[in-house]
């Protein structure tokens, strides 16, 4: 029996492309950061008041948490996802070290040199460009060096809003509890940061006349490293050009979680098998509902999978209804006003599931959600951010069932809840009813005895503009209508969550088993 390589050739190529995209994002942000930061630094050296103002604003921006900044920029960019808001975030974080080192570099220039330049008849502008800035370059590069290392790390977080790069591996690994995926993203990111830091460090040393020079061989190696990094970034930029994907390409995205990624791959496979279109799958595993929906409205996505109950309460902001057909019709009418079409349901519902360890639920006699009211003083609960804030989530649930927990619920990543319950870190969590980890960790789903949760039928949401441009899309995306039941979806999820299989492979195998794709490799 042959051993399976830890990294196949296809995976290695995809990882190299992700690294190039990551570096491209960093380089573009740094170029813009230098173009903005250096003039601001020059301006700040004019007076102490200007310095305090510029550095005060830069310091304030630096204190904004990264995810909060990305969320704010999504509003600024009107829901656009991907590189533009991510690049803007990296520019903002790069400004402080660049501005500070520009000021420090200019003020470190010997006053005698500046006065000599003035005595030679140079104007203030000529003195700045020909004397002061060149002498400040080593210190300025030190600031760029700090900004670069920070940007490499920050760029991984930008994957949450659809920016391509190594962060997609890390987020996917966290969502799927797959350590291998986390390592595939984190190790290259760490090596990339070290390589950028070393290359810029050599440049800083070479341009500083006060430091001893290294051998020509080391200088040549450093120059070669810089050339490789720039070339890699250029490859990432080239791969990201719209023309590279062709005009007949559509963007299929997905929310976070294995189920969403599996269904996203199914939609993409059906489009490629039944139409002449190609599919860009670079927007999988995005954040919550509104990130994907706003991207769909704004043209950043052409299609993704949603749930009808979520569409009703979270997108349309309307009170829950409990008739599946009525909810579906209501969602279709409401989303049509945004230029979005809701196609036919896949055949299963994925409702919220309040989960407990089986042993604990049986010992306490908890079978329904109503039974929780007898144990609110002792149970420790944990919920995902979306469930904690959406109208059909915890606020409404606690009112409907009269739940007043003694311990405030812990807000945490939804995909970490299953293991947290199994390990005893929390006693109660809200997961997904189709999640394979319910069986993996032997959890029990409490009965919604008051029928609080609305129906959550899985449906494709598609841009009406995309359907007008490509009418064949409708039949391709509706090919899954009525083809997946709850048991099947839970089994598919379990293959990804427990066996750590590639969601793309799981999706393709299921489509072939239903004769929705041709057989073959």
pLDDT tens-digit map of 84-109: 888 999 999 999 999 999 998 888 77
Please indicate, yes or no, if residue 255 is contained in any of the structural domains: yes
Number of independent structural domains in the chain: 3
Q: Give the separation between CA 404 and CA 398, rounded to whole angstroms.
A: 7
Domain end, chosen from 218, 239, 260, is at 239
106 plus 233 within the same structural domain: yes
Mean per-residue pLDDT, 25-44:
92
pLDDT > 90? residue 10: no
Among 51-60, 84-93, 172-181, 296-305, the minimum mean pLDDT is found in 172-181
Q: Which residue has the higher pLDDT, 342 or 85?
A: 342
pLDDT > 80? residue 221: no
Among 117-131, 407-421, 439-453, the minimum mean pLDDT is found in 117-131
Mean per-residue pLDDT, 298-316:
91
Residues 6+ apart with CB under 8 A from 167: 22, 155, 156, 157, 158, 159, 160, 185, 189
176 plus 34 within the same structural domain: yes
Among 61-75, 184-198, 367-381, 502-516, the minimum mean pLDDT is found in 61-75
Question: Strands 428-432 and 352-357: what pairing?
Answer: antiparallel
Mean per-residue pLDDT, 196-200:
85
Please indicate, yes or no, if residue 299 is contained in any of the structural domains: yes
pLDDT of residue 248: 55
Mean per-residue pLDDT, 128-140:
79
193 plus 109 within the same structural domain: yes
Q: How confident is the model at residue 3 (pLDDT cuts 50, 70, 90)?
A: very low
Q: How confident is the model at residue 4 (pLDDT cuts 50, 70, 90)?
A: very low
Mean per-residue pLDDT, 313-328:
90
Please indicate, yes or no, if residue 518 is contained in any of the structural domains: no
pLDDT of residue 5: 52
3-state class (DSSP) for residue 72: helix
pLDDT of residue 23: 92
Mean per-residue pLDDT, 26-50:
90
Mean per-residue pLDDT, 469-473:
92
pLDDT > 70? residue 142: yes
478 plus 423 within the same structural domain: no
109 plus 211 within the same structural domain: yes
Element (H, E) at 252: strand 249-253
48 plus 181 within the same structural domain: yes
54 plus 163 within the same structural domain: yes
pLDDT of residue 243: 47
Domain end, chosen from 213, 239, 265, is at 239
Residue 139: half-sphere exposure toward Cβ, Cα within 13 Å: 19
Please indicate, yes or no, if residue 450 is contained in any of the structural domains: no
- 358, 341, 354, 364: which is closest to 397 by C-alpha? 354
For the record, the structure tokens of 488 come out as 């099947």
Mean per-residue pLDDT, 18-29:
92
Of 153-162, 195-204, 267-276, where does the model show the most confidence? 267-276
For the record, the structure tokens of 351 come out as 């409702």
pLDDT of residue 2: 41
Please indicate, yes or no, if residue 521 is contained in any of the structural domains: no
What is the number of residues in the chain? 521
Residues 6+ apart with CB under 8 A from 318: 312, 330, 334
Please indicate, yes or no, if residue 259 is contained in any of the structural domains: yes
CATH number at residue 105: 1.10.3720.10
Please indicate, yes or no, if residue 1 is contained in any of the structural domains: no
3-state class (DSSP) for residue 280: strand
Rounded to two decimals, the pTM is 0.75
Q: Which residue has the higher pLDDT, 414 or 176?
A: 414
pLDDT > 90? residue 511: yes
Q: Which residue has the higher pLDDT, 287 or 482?
A: 482
17 plus 146 within the same structural domain: yes
97 plus 212 within the same structural domain: yes
Task: Read off φ and ψ for residue 4, nearest 5 degrees.
Answer: -90, 125
In Å, what is the CA distance from 343 to each residue of 141, 322, 337, 419? 54, 19, 15, 34
Mean per-residue pLDDT, 198-211:
73
330 plus 363 within the same structural domain: no
Helices (H), 240-298: 242-245, 258-274, 289-298
CATH number at residue 365: 3.40.190.120
Could you tell me what percentage of the chain is helix, strand and coil, using 3-state DSSP and rounding each to the nearest 5? Answer: 65, 10, 30
Element (H, E) at 112: helix 111-119
pLDDT > 50? residue 245: no
Please indicate, yes or no, if residue 500 is contained in any of the structural domains: yes
Q: How confident is the model at residue 436 (pLDDT cuts 50, 70, 90)?
A: confident
Q: Which domain holds residue 489?
A: 246-349+456-513
Among 46-60, 246-260, 331-345, 481-495, the minimum mean pLDDT is found in 246-260
pLDDT of residue 114: 66
Mean per-residue pLDDT, 253-277:
92
pLDDT of residue 242: 59
């Amino acid at each position: 029996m042959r051993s399976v390589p830890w990294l196949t050739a296809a995976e290695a190529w995809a990882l190299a492309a992700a690294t190039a995209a990551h570096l491209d994002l960093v380089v573009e942000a740094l170029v813009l950061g230098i173009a903005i930061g250096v003039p601001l630094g020059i301006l700040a050296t004019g007076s102490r008041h200007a310095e305090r103002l510029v550095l005060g604003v830069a310091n304030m921006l630096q204190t904004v948490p990264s995810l909060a900044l990305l969320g704010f920029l999504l509003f600024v960019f009107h829901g656009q996802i991907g590189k533009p808001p991510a690049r803007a975030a990296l520019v903002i974080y790069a400004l402080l070290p660049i501005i500070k080192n520009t000021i420090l570099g200019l003020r470190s220039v010997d006053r005698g040199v500046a006065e000599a330049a003035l005595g030679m008849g140079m104007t203030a502008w000529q003195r700045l460009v020909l004397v002061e800035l060149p002498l400040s370059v080593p210190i300025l590069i030190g600031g760029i060096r700090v900004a670069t290392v920070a940007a490499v790390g920050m760029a991984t977080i930008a994957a949450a809003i659809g920016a391509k790069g190594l962060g997609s591996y890390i987020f996917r690994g966290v969502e799927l509890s797959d350590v291998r995926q986390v390592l595939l993203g984190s190790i290259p990111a760490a090596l990339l940061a070290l390589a950028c830091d070393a290359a810029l460090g050599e440049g800083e040393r070479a341009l500083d006349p006060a430091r001893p020079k290294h051998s020509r061989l080391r200088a040549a190696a450093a120059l070669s490293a810089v050339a490789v990094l720039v070339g890699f970034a250029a490859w990432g930029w080239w791969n990201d050009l719209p023309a590279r994907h062709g005009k007949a390409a559509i963007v299929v995205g997905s929310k976070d979680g294995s189920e969403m990624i599996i269904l996203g791959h199914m939609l993409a496979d059906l489009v490629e098998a039944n139409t002449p279109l190609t599919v860009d799958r670079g927007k999988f595993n995005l954040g919550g509902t509104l990130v994907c929906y706003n991207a769909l409205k704004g043209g950043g996505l052409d299609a993704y999978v949603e749930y009808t109950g979520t569409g009703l309460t979270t997108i349309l902001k309307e009170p829950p209804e409990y008739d599946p057909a009525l909810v579906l019709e209501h969602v279709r009418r409401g989303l049509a006003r945004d230029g979005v079409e809701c196609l036919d349901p896949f055949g299963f519902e994925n409702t919220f599931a309040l989960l407990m360890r089986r042993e604990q639920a049986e010992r306490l006699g908890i079978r329904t959600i109503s039974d929780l009211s007898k144990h609110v003083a002792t149970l420790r609960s944990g919920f995902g951010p979306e469930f904690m804030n959406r109208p059909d989530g915890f606020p409404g649930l606690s009112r409907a069932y009269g739940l007043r927990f003694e311990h405030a619920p812990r807000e945490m990543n939804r995909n970490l809840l299953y293991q947290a319950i199994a390990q005893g870190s929390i006693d109660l969590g809200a997961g997904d009813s189709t999640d394979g980890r319910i069986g993996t960790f032997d959890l029990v789903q409490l009965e919604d005895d008051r029928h609080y949760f609305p129906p959550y039928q899985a449906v494709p949401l598609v841009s009406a503009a995309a359907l007008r441009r490509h009418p064949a899309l409708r039949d391709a995306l509706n090919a899954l209508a009525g083809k997946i039941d709850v048991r099947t979806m839970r089994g598919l999820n379990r293959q990804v969550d427990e066996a750590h299989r590639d969601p793309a492979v799981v999706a393709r195998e299921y489509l072939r088993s239903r004769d929705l794709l041709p057989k073959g490799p």
